[in-house]
Amino acid sequence: MNEEIPLVGGTANRGLVFRVGDTVRRPLRATSPATHALLRHLEDVGFDGAPRFLGTDAAGREVLSYIPGEAVTPPYPQWAFTESALTSVAALLRRYHRAVSTFDPARYHWPRWVPRPFRTGLLSHNDPNLDNIVFRDRRAVALIDFDLTSPGSAVWDVAAAARLWVPLRPDADITDARRGHAIRRFRAIVDAYGLTGADRDLVVAAVTRAPRRGDRPRRLHRVLDGRGRARRAGPAVVRAQRPAAARGATLTGFREECVTASRCSAVTAPCHSSSGRVTRLPR
């Protein structure tokens, strides 16, 4: 019998996910039938960037195929903070969205996760966190953990990825090589995905609405008012929730810088954010 090897990462299922040979065993959920239908569809259309659903085991756990590679977990490798890793995440999301675009989610029960203004009917992954993406040769090749997948939009996924991978938080809370580069990296992921027109403005609105990984709808607090001030939440929640591009930035200022960045692609003339920083990417 194959040994059960615990897999690190995750929050809701921490300590409950195991590798057994070339398979992964995970707890079932109320929305598992929907997730399994999605994974079957992705297999049918030839998308290789997601695990295959293989059934359930004697312990009542779902059995998925194991995807070889490396998820980004602590201690974080420095290559995970490079722009090439960031843009490969955008490319993977674009491939996933293309594959899932022909799937009809209407027959299944999904978590209620994405705010109504950002729902187009496309199934967004909703949790493209560092430990939910598998890399090979330092390039994103697969998404895992579809527990939060629900009707959403491509824009919502790009926003979620930006908040987690750029990351979009105060510089004081960033201790690695990404510090001080939030706006440049934000535009890099928007450009790499290929958002155009109104979607480049909409992704800014989605960024300021997107909850951080680990929060669930029932526990999520609206911790920022229209002027970027925290309310009705403890300090730890406020720090985790506030979307800001630089130390002391307000929500309004952050929106302005992101709008500037999203409207200036890497092939245009240099653009400047409201703080005066050049936000043009090198070609």
pLDDT at 251: 44
Q: Is the pLDDT of residue 228 over 90?
A: no
pLDDT at 260: 64
* Nearest to 161, CA basis, from 120, 203, 201, 121: 203
pLDDT at 170: 86
Query: Cα(160)–Cα(12) distance, rounded to whole angstroms?
Result: 18
52, part of any domain = yes
Tens digits of per-residue pLDDT, 154-213? 999 999 999 999 998 888 899 999 999 999 999 999 999 999 989 998 999 998 874 544
Q: Is the pLDDT of residue 23 over 60?
A: yes
- For residue 163, how far is the Cα from the chain centroid? 7
* Nearest to 22, CA basis, from 70, 67, 85, 78: 67
Confidence band of 2 (pLDDT split at 50, 70, 90) = confident
17, part of any domain = yes
Among the residue ranges 12-21, 95-104, 253-262, 264-273, the one predicted with the least confidence is: 264-273
β-bridge mates for residue 230, sequence order? 224
Tens digits of per-residue pLDDT, 237-256? 333 334 433 333 434 455 56
Tens digits of per-residue pLDDT, 111-164? 887 999 999 999 999 999 999 999 999 999 999 999 999 999 999 999 999 999
pLDDT at 257: 63
Range of the domain at 47: 4-65
261, part of any domain = no
**For the chain, what is the mean pLDDT?**
80
59, part of any domain = yes
CA torsion sign for 80, 85, 87, 92 is negative
42, part of any domain = yes
Give backbone dihedrals phi and psi of 143, rounded to 5 degrees, phi first.
-100, 140
The rounded percent of the chain whose pLDDT value lies above 70 is 72
| SS3 label, residue 55 | strand
43, part of any domain = yes
* Nearest to 49, CA basis, from 7, 94, 81, 87: 94
The residues, any chain, with a CB within 8 Å of residue 75's CB and separated by 6 or more, are none
Q: Is the pLDDT of residue 20 over 50?
A: yes
122, part of any domain = no
pLDDT at 202: 93
pLDDT at 248: 36
Task: Count structural domains, the chain.
Answer: 1
Instruction: Read off the tokens for 140.
Output: 């994103």
Query: Cα(189)–Cα(84) distance, rounded to whole angstroms?
Result: 10
pTM of the predicted model as reported, rounded to 2 decimal places: 0.78
| SS3 label, residue 27 | coil
12, part of any domain = yes
* Nearest to 124, CA basis, from 88, 149, 161: 149
CA atoms within 13 A on the CB side of 132: 25
Mean pLDDT in residue range 56-80: 96
